[in-house]
Amino acid sequence: MNSWLLRDVQVVNEGRVIPADVLVRDGFIERVATEGIGNAKGVKEFDAKGKHLLPGAIDDQVHFREPGLTYKEDIAHGSAAAVAGGITTFMEMPNTIPQTLTQALLEQKYAMGAASSVANYSFYMGASNTNVDEVLRTDPRTVCGLKAFLGSSTGNMLVDNPETLDRLFKEAHLILAIHAEDEPSIRRNMAEAVARFGDDIPMEQHPFIRSAEACWLSSSNAVALAKKHGTRLHVLHISTARELELFTPGPLANKRITAEACVHHLWFTDADYKKKGALIKWNPAVKSLEDRDAIRQAVKYGRIDVVATDHAPHTTEEKEHRYAQCPSGGPLVQHALPAMLELMHQGVFSLEEVVEKMCHAPARLFQVKDRGFIREGQHADLVLVDLDAPWTVTKDNLLYKCGWSPFEGQRFRSRVLRTWLNGQLVHKDGKVDGSVRGMRAIFDR
Ligand code: DOR
């Protein structure tokens, strides 16, 4: 059943909020009518009673751990949590086991997505020091982008050979998304921390070990290389104020170099390590209040183009390890939109800005075909939210396989009520219909 008449919604789209009825037929948005729609045959009707309807969010950075690390997360759980959180399309990272370093392995991931994803999906092709030829065979129309770790994180996928990097930046024929942290700086800082604290390094040291300087060195190098070669570069998870000068405000259409901010860098600060400890240990690290506030401003005023999650779950047991053995990353897809809407309630962003950065901008940036907007002719990926229905994140309402969230105990004012995926009602009131399957995202390139 993928035909619906959604009555009395407040459509939040392209900078405006308008009362309308929305007709969805055979998975596509057929009409958005401010004057209302009388009767429509062969559709299910739903009266939204004035609630807000958003385009499904597009998350350009998730780690769903399949294949090889499915004890942490898998595509079925990750995508279910995503749609429950209003994210209808995800782009997944290559640091799985095996790593996504060949076209054959990449296509195997797409087969896994087709088999078990309840959200629309795309998977990045991974770069290594030795696979540039294989990377260059990636199909720009059916794959979101290329991913290179210029600083090692989970999965040891560091690309640090200067000739490889130069060739990758020179010849990349689609978006090159990078993790930018300078490895020698991190190693040096880590050695100093071990000398000082032994094997009992406090979590609060994370932003000094994975330092602002390490971010700056790596991202400024990458931007210089991209300028030299004209690379279409996308710098992921900006975590410091200083890096912001590398990016320019202005329309996406004019940019060759873009940037992403993640929800945890917009929400937490180093003051939170005391209480949350390993639960907010991410790479790059959550840094100072000044950094967080500068990133918020950059999102608002356009230096940063998109907001994503870097959803990267690990088990509770892994997170209980001491600093050096404790992996970085945490689950986020279920709470990213509620958290951004909370920032709206706090006056940080407007509702239209949240939709711009989580729905429209990722669609534009990646040239996603027919998604990311509430427009006639687009796929009906739609999210109904109640902006005033407070709820608290507890273990009971988590859909993550890992069973924890850095937001546990957090009260959010806004709630995702329903999610439609290609016109199918895939999520209602925290329950996901596991029989729905997403589609492979296509790119207009
Ligand atoms: O904290 C992180 N964890 N950052 C990354 O870039 C990778 C991720 C992971 O895969 O665990």
Give the relative orientation of helices 183-197 and 212-229 as an angle to the nearest 10 degrees.
Answer: 170
Dihedral angle over CA of 150, 152, 157, 158, nearest 10: 40
What's the CATH number of domain 56-366, 3.90.650.10, 3.40.50.720, 3.20.20.140, 3.20.20.70?
3.20.20.140
Answer whether residue 327 shows pLDDT above 90. Answer: yes
> With 80 as the cut, is the pLDDT of residue 322 above it?
yes
Alpha carbon of 310 to ligand 1 centroid (Å)? 7
| Minimum CA distance residue for ligand 1 atom 10 | 154
- How many CA atoms within 13 Å lie on the side-chain side of 34? 5
Phi and psi torsions of 55, nearest 5°: -65, 150
Per-residue pLDDT band at 154 (split at 50, 70, 90)? confident
Residues lining ligand 1, Cβ inside 6 A: 63, 95, 153-154, 179, 282-283, 310, 312, 327-329
How many angstroms separate the CA atoms of 75 and 434, rounded? 12
Whether the Cβ atoms of residue 159 and residue 151 lie closer than 8 Å to each other:
no
Scanning 3-94, the segments in alpha helix (DSSP H) are 75-84
pLDDT higher than threshold 80 for residue 153: no
What is the whole-number distance in angstroms between the Cα of residue 297 and the centre of ligand 1?
24
Coil, strand, or helix at residue 407?
coil
Report the percentage of the chain scoring pLDDT > 90: 98
Q: Among all chains, which residue has been given the structure tokens 């406090």?
A: 202
Which residues have C-beta within 8 Å of that of residue 316, sequence separation ≥ 6?
402, 403, 404
The residue type found at 434 is: G
Q: For residue 414, give the amino acid letter.
A: S
Q: What pLDDT is recorded for position 251?
A: 92
In angstroms, how far is the first alpha carbon of the chain from the final one?
Answer: 31
CA distances from 138 to 150, 222, 235, 395, 442 (A): 20, 21, 20, 40, 13
Query: How are beta strands 411-412 and 391-392 bridged, if at all?
Result: antiparallel
Spans of all domains in the chain: 4-54+373-387+406-432, 56-366
| Residue 333: pLDDT band with limits 50, 70, 90 | very high
> Which of 95, 96, 157 to mutate to test ligand 1, by most ligand atoms within 8 A of the CB atom?
95
Has 310 been annotated as catalytic? yes
Residue 290 and residue 152: Cα distance in Å, rounded? 26
Q: What local confidence, expressed as pLDDT, does residue 299 receive?
A: 98
Atom number, ligand 1, closest to the C-alpha of residue 314? 11
**Cβ–Cβ under 8 Å, residues 371 and 381:** yes
pLDDT value at 29 more than 80: yes
CA of 236, closest atom in ligand 1: 6
Q: What are phi and psi of 382, to 5 degrees?
A: -135, 145
Q: Please give the distance, rounded to the nearest whole angstrom, from the Cα atom of residue 15 to the centre of ligand 1.
A: 32
pLDDT-above-70 percentage for the chain: 100
> Which pair of tokens denotes residue 339?
């958290």
Q: How many CB atoms lie within 10 A of CB 360?
A: 21
Could you report the per-residue pLDDT of 203-233, keeping only the tens digit for each? 999 999 999 999 999 999 999 999 999 999 9
Atom of ligand 1 nearest to the CA of 328: 1
Average pLDDT over residues 118-127: 99
| Ligand 1 mutation target, pool 310, 325, 332, most atoms within 8 A of CB | 310
The rounded Å distance from CA 22 to ligand 1 centre is 39
Closest atom of ligand 1 to 281 CA is: 1
pLDDT tens digits for range 345-357: 999 999 999 999 9
Amino acid in the structure at residue 19 = P
Contact 2, 44 (CB under 8 A): no
Ligand 1 probe mutation, 59, 61, 62, 63, most atoms within 8 A of CB = 63
Q: Please tell me the predicted confidence (pLDDT) of residue 31.
A: 98
Model confidence pLDDT, tens digit, residues 66-88: 999 999 999 999 999 999 999 99
Q: Whose CA is nearest to atom 3 of ligand 1?
A: 329
Kindly report, residue by residue over 267-310, the tens digit of the pLDDT.
999 999 999 999 999 999 999 999 999 999 999 999 999 999 99
Active-site annotation holder among 74, 182, 310, 381: 310
Residue 359 pLDDT grade (very low, low, confident, very high; cuts 50, 70, 90) = very high
312 alpha carbon – ligand 1 mean position (Å)? 6
When pLDDT is averaged across residues 45-65 and rounded to a whole number, the result is 98
pTM over 0.95, yes/no: yes
pLDDT tens for 165-202 read 999 999 999 999 999 999 999 999 999 999 999 999 99
Mean pLDDT of the residues in the chain: 97
In b/e form, how buried is each residue of 12-29, taking b as 16+ CB within 10 angstroms? bbeeeeeebbbbbbebbb
CA atoms within 13 A on the CB side of 145: 24
- Using DSSP bridges, classify how beta strands 176-179 and 16-25 pair: parallel, antiparallel or unpaired: unpaired
- Asked if residues 273 and 247 have their Cβ atoms less than 8 Å apart, the reply is no
CATH 2.30.40.10 fits 4-54+373-387+406-432, yes or no: yes
Q: What's the rounded Cα separation, in Å, for the pair 155 and 367?
A: 28
pLDDT single digits (tens) 385-418: 999 999 999 999 999 999 999 999 999 999 999 9
Rg of the chain taking only CA atoms, in angstroms: 21
DSSP 3-state of 93: coil
Strands 28-33 and 57-62: unpaired
CA 153 – ligand 1 centroid, Å: 6
Q: Tell me the HSE value of 192 on the side-chain side, using a 13 A CA sphere.
A: 12
